[in-house]
């Protein structure tokens, strides 16, 4: 859990949050009203499947470069579907994530 908290904080450019519940939940504060909560209380959770969530960016090239500098596993090329550009990547536990940019 501590490694996941550090990874998400680094990728998102945020400070690690407050850990609670015996180290199994961490709330990473963001600049808005929504925080990212990492919860390790689901031992039956599988990483396979579609992206768990996606993030918005205004600068796809800079975002992809940021992910590469952090040695993040990028699992697709940047795709352009007309309304958005997007790229898929994984966290260290293999959870699929995506970042999008409106065109």
For 18-75, the pLDDT digits (tens) are 889 888 888 888 887 777 888 888 778 777 878 888 899 999 999 999 999 999 999 9
Tokens of 59: 């600068």
Residue matched to tokens 């993040």: 72
pLDDT (0 to 100) of residue 54: 87
Q: What share of the chain is helix, strand, coil (3-state, %, to 5)?
A: 20, 30, 50
> What residue spans of 1-103 are helical by DSSP H?
2-12, 60-69
């Amino acid at each position: 859990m501590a490694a996941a908290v550090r990874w998400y904080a680094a990728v998102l450019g945020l400070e690690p949050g407050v850990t609670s519940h015996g180290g199994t939940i961490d709330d990473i504060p963001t600049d808005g009203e929504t925080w990212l909560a990492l919860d390790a209380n689901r031992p039956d959770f599988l990483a396979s499947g579609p992206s768990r969530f996606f993030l918005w960016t205004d600068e796809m090239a800079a975002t992809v470069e940021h992910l590469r500098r952090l040695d993040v596993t990028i699992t697709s090329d940047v795709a352009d579907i007309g309304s958005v550009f997007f790229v898929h990547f994984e966290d260290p536990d293999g959870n699929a994530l995506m970042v999008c940019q409106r065109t």
